Amino acid sequence: MADKIVVVDFSGTLIKSFVAEQANLKRYDILGIPKPSEKEHKQLHGTKKHYDVIKQHISDRFGISDDMKVGFVQNYDGEIELSGKDVKTIIMTDLFRDCMYLVASENGQKIYADGILDSLKTIQNRGYKLAIVSGIRKDIITGLLAITKCPVKFDYIYGQDPVLSRDDNQQLNSELAEKGIIEYVIGDKLDDLKPTKKLKSKSIFVKWGHPTGGEEDFADYSISTPEELEKIIQ
């Protein structure tokens, strides 16, 4: 019998929104980027425009242009050549990783949405496999789980690489679907939930994250607390 899988988005769903927000502000401090207002930060965070601002500061501060070529030794084996554009992305996401680790070490298991770990353990005990699918780097996700000694063991984790080359959540969920049947996808943004249409699975919108608009109209379920997951996923 194929595994039944429940997919959980990471930032804004499994972990609270403040974690990425604080990490990004720490990254701004390191790069010397003026601190945005709270409203500006919420509008820019995680968007392409937000990345463009950071990469421009990296270009100015480090003197890296998109057309540069930089030799790179991959971990454990093989050499490749990176474009300046990819190098800037690695610097950007490395800084985010370091700052996310710092926020996690400062807050421990307080980074998780209140009650979500208990609810996920209950769901896992009912026979479901748990997966994380996220546009955040996999080493950030697994690092935070390790730093905080997360008591939930996730069966599958699909995340980004350092140059953000993996297309989108649809691609990652499609790869995961080869492992079993994705029954539910839980997320705080519309892009987290959209893959359910092709996967023919149920979408659950959580109201405690960073919605971008249209989630409640799209989702099969909308919840305000993690405990409600236990009533939906039987």
13-41 pLDDT per residue, tens: 999 999 999 999 999 999 999 887 777 76
Which pTM was predicted?
Answer: 0.94
Spatial contact of 187 and 159, defined as CB atoms under 8 Å apart: no
Within 8 A by CB and 6+ apart from 146, the residues are: none
For residues 57 and 111, what is the distance between their CA atoms, to the nearest angstrom? 29
Band of pLDDT at residue 50, cut at 50, 70 and 90: confident
Q: Over the stretch 128-149, which tens digit does the pLDDT of each residue have?
A: 999 999 999 999 999 999 999 9
Tell me the CA distances in angstroms from 230 to 66, 109, 126, 216, 221, one per residue in order: 48, 21, 10, 19, 12
For residues 159 and 75, what is the distance between their CA atoms, to the nearest angstrom? 18
- What pLDDT does residue 130 have? 98
Share of the chain above pLDDT 90, in %: 84
